[in-house]
């Protein structure tokens, strides 16, 4: 409970924020209206400077805080490491980096090397550089193109944006890096193919990638990057048969499969990794958010031994190794946090909990769908779900932006934080998403559902 001077301090902070901080993804009007200042968190609950509490079903706004807020154990592990040794550039064997790599790879059969950096974008940049160097060393520079899928997001840096299938997000930031080629999305609910009797939607959608490979010339394509489940593009689950066809095509043309697990990785979907739902074997896997649940900035680019071998120097070839560094890949706090994070997930059985609670959440959403006709589709895996809002279930046209924004705002007013697509990134702003921390209980899920129910009721009756 705040006294007068604490109020004054907080008012001043809000003023200074408006004057000095340039916020991510925030239009001026929203910042001018005043943003919440979150000051404390515990588990799934986050509190703002006015003392208002929210149940956070967005994992920190962007699918990050997998083990929840307020984990002293992670902070302690970082403190212990930082007071012992904070940093040395990555050409040194670090204790937590070595321990975490070993533990992580136990979860990823078939993969054997961990390359550290600091953000999802950067992890993807590393993957692109590996592909480009493999092309330079082994294919005379010819096999350098990288394919990406419409609606997928791979990051904010110029090359990662060049590999991003969201026109609105890219607009104004070109020219882009050459050699990135788009192929169509696989969102079955917004079907874009006439199917013949013998072909499933998944197979047809995956063949759209093969068509692009054939058009570009298979010997010019080095890799394809995909999200296992598209996150920001609208929680899009791959249709049945999709991944098998993608994997088959990659093998056929010797194209590396890069899996962007920046969102799905480390438990989010009820498996250690999203790709592990689909019985496929990627060559490169990138991950970031859940790696340390937001306690430290750390990302990983994980590869097979074959990829690693292709980038080792041969006798007399001093330039042959991977000529890349990330300064803060040498910060010891990241892997210390990642190791503590992984131990929490194991000890508390959070992967199983995520699967069980994800089913509870999805079952509840199905009930809401039956109740509110503007809910066209609900979908998800583990504690990673999306709700697609449409004007009617038959033509599936997106609702007006104001409805999606309105429901998210009503949830917030009722004390629940959820995410949504945004028209400045994607073609339509009609998909809500939720990703509570993997520690969610029955009571948390039921509370999320009851607040959502209320928000839909208020929005659809226009109260
Ligand atoms: N890949 C995916 C699938 C993402 O969702 C994101 C971030 N939302 C990124 C990459 C980029 O990660 P970062 O913001 O850490 O650079």
Question: Per residue in 329-347, pLDDT tens?
Answer: 999 999 999 999 999 999 9
Domain boundary among the residues 307, 324, 347 is at 347
- Label residue 429 by pLDDT band (50, 70, 90): very high
Beta-carbon contacts of 324 under 8 Å, excluding residues fewer than 6 positions away, are: 126, 129
C-beta 149 within 6 A of ligand 1:
no
ipTM over 0.85: yes
Question: Per residue in 160-219, pLDDT tens?
Answer: 999 999 999 999 999 999 999 999 999 999 988 888 777 899 999 999 999 999 999 999
If one counts the domains in the chain, the total is: 2
Question: Per residue in 47-103, pLDDT tens?
Answer: 999 999 999 999 999 999 999 999 999 999 999 999 999 999 877 889 999 999 999
- Look up the CATH number of the domain holding residue 366: 3.90.1150.10
Specify the 3-state DSSP secondary structure of 195.
coil
Are residues 301 and 251 located together in one domain of the fold? yes
Question: Per residue in 110-120, pLDDT tens?
Answer: 999 999 999 99
Choice from 58, 263, 284, 300 to test ligand 1 binding pocket (greatest atom count within 8 A of CB): 263
Q: What is the DSSP string of 286-354?
A: EE-GGGTTTSS--EEEEE-HHHHHHTSPPTT-TT-S-----GGGGBSHHHHHHHHHHHHHHHTTHHHHH
HSE at residue 46, side-chain half, CA atoms within 13 A, is: 20
| Cα–Cα distance measured from residue 87 to residue 333, given in angstroms and rounded to the nearest whole number | 8
Question: Per residue in 274-311, pLDDT tens?
Answer: 999 999 999 999 999 999 999 999 999 999 999 999 99
Distance between Cα 155 and ligand 1 center (Å): 5
In a domain, 4, yes or no: no
pLDDT at 226 over 60: yes
Question: Per residue in 6-45, pLDDT tens?
Answer: 889 999 999 999 999 999 988 888 888 888 899 999 999 9
Specify the 3-state DSSP secondary structure of 29.
helix
Specify the 3-state DSSP secondary structure of 32.
helix
- Label residue 427 by pLDDT band (50, 70, 90): confident
Question: CA–CA distance from 249 to each of 76, 143, 205, 209 (Å)?
Answer: 46, 16, 12, 8
In a domain, 320, yes or no: yes
Token couple for 146? 């990288």
Are residues 291 and 355 located together in one domain of the fold? no
| Cα–Cα distance measured from residue 377 to residue 366, given in angstroms and rounded to the nearest whole number | 9
Distance between Cα 184 and ligand 1 center (Å): 20
Are residues 369 and 314 located together in one domain of the fold? no
In a domain, 17, yes or no: no
Question: Per residue in 229-268, pLDDT tens?
Answer: 999 999 999 999 999 999 999 999 999 999 999 999 999 9
Q: Do the bridges between strand 113-117 and strand 299-303 make them parallel or antiparallel, or are there none, so unpaired?
A: antiparallel
pLDDT at 2 over 90: no
| Cα–Cα distance measured from residue 35 to residue 33, given in angstroms and rounded to the nearest whole number | 7
C-beta 234 within 6 A of ligand 1:
no
- Look up the CATH number of the domain holding residue 269: 3.40.640.10
What range defines the domain where residue 53 resides?
36-67+349-461
In a domain, 12, yes or no: no
pLDDT of residue 176: 98
Are residues 48 and 155 located together in one domain of the fold? no
In a domain, 261, yes or no: yes
Distance between Cα 232 and ligand 1 center (Å): 9
Smallest Cα–Cα separation from 235: which of 184, 162, 185, 199?
185
Are residues 88 and 231 located together in one domain of the fold? yes
Choice from 62, 64, 65, 120 to test ligand 1 binding pocket (greatest atom count within 8 A of CB): 120
Are residues 63 and 164 located together in one domain of the fold? no
Are residues 296 and 338 located together in one domain of the fold? yes
Question: Per residue in 144-153, pLDDT tens?
Answer: 999 999 999 9
Question: CA–CA distance from 58 to each of 153, 352, 383, 419, 448 (Å)?
Answer: 18, 19, 10, 6, 11
| Cα–Cα distance measured from residue 429 to residue 423, given in angstroms and rounded to the nearest whole number | 5
Average per-residue pLDDT for the chain = 95
Q: In the predicted model, what is the mean pLDDT of residues 213-230? A: 98
Domain boundary among the residues 347, 372, 389 is at 347
pLDDT of residue 252: 98
Are residues 332 and 390 located together in one domain of the fold? no
Are residues 246 and 338 located together in one domain of the fold? yes
C-beta 153 within 6 A of ligand 1:
yes
Q: How many residues does this entry show for the chain?
A: 463
Closest ligand 1 atom, CA of 152?
3
Distance between Cα 154 and ligand 1 center (Å): 6
C-beta 288 within 6 A of ligand 1:
yes
Instruction: Give the residue, by CA position, lying nearest to ligand 1 atom 7.
Output: 155
Are residues 327 and 404 located together in one domain of the fold? no
In a domain, 379, yes or no: yes
Choice from 128, 226, 288, 300 to test ligand 1 binding pocket (greatest atom count within 8 A of CB): 288
pLDDT of residue 90: 73
Domain boundary among the residues 282, 317, 347 is at 347
Q: Are 185 and 235 in contact (CB under 8 A)?
A: no
Smallest Cα–Cα separation from 128: which of 307, 274, 305?
307
pLDDT at 1 over 60: no
C-beta 232 within 6 A of ligand 1:
yes
In a domain, 199, yes or no: yes
In a domain, 10, yes or no: no
C-beta 420 within 6 A of ligand 1:
no
Are residues 212 and 313 located together in one domain of the fold? yes
Are residues 283 and 174 located together in one domain of the fold? yes
């Amino acid at each position: 409970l705040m006294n007068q001077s604490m109020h004054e301090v907080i008012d001043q902070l809000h003023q200074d924020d408006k004057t000095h901080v340039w916020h991510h993804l925030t239009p001026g009007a929203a910042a001018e209206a005043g943003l919440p200042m979150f000051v404390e968190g515990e588990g799934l609950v986050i509190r703002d400077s006015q003392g208002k509490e929210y149940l956070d079903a967005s994992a920190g706004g962007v699918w990050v805080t997998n083990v929840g807020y307020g984990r002293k154990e992670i902070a302690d592990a970082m403190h212990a490491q930082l007071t012992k040794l904070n940093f040395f550039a990555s050409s040194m064997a670090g204790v937590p980096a070595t321990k975490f790599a070993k533990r992580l790879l136990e979860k990823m059969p078939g993969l054997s090397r961990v390359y550290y950096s600091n953000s999802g974008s950067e992890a993807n940049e590393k993957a692109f550089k590996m592909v480009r160097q493999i092309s330079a060393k082994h294919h005379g520079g010819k096999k350098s193109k990288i394919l990406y899928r419409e609606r997928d997001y791979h990051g904010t840096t110029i090359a990662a944006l060049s590999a991003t299938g969201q026109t609105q997000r890219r607009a104004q930031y070109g020219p882009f890096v050459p050699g990135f080629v788009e192929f169509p999305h696989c969102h079955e609910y917004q079907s874009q193919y006439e199917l013949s009797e013998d072909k499933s939607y998944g197979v047809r959608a995956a063949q759209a990638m093969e068509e692009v490979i054939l058009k570009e010339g298979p010997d010019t394509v080095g890799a394809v990057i995909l999200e296992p489940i598209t996150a920001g593009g609208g929680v899009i689950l791959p249709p049945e048969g999709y991944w098998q066809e993608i994997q088959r095509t990659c093998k056929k043309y010797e194209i590396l499969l890069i899996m962007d697990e920046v969102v799905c990785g480390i438990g989010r979907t009820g498996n250690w990794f999203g790709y592990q739902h689909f019985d496929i074997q990627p060559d490169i896997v990138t991950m970031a958010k859940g790696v340390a649940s937001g306690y430290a900035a750390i990302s990983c680019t994980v590869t097979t031994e074959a990829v690693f071998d292709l980038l080792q120097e041969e006798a007399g070839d001093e330039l042959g190794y991977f000529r890349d560094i990330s300064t803060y890949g040498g910060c010891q706090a990241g892997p210390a946090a990642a190791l503590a994070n992984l131990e929490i997930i194991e000890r508390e059985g959070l992967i199983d909990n995520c699967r069980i609670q994800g089913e509870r959440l999805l079952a509840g959403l199905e009930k809401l769908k039956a109740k509110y006709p503007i809910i066209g589709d609900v979908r998800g895996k583990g504690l990673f779900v999306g709700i697609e809002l449409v004007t009617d279930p038959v033509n599936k046209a997106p609702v007006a932006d104001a409805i999606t924004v309105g429901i998210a705002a009503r949830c917030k007013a009722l004390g629940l934080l959820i995410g949504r697509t945004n028209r400045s990134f994607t073609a339509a702003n009609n998909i809500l998403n939720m990703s509570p921390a993997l520690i969610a209980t029955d009571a948390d899920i039921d509370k999320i559902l009851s607040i959502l129910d209320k928000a839909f009721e208020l929005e659809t009756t226009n109260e």
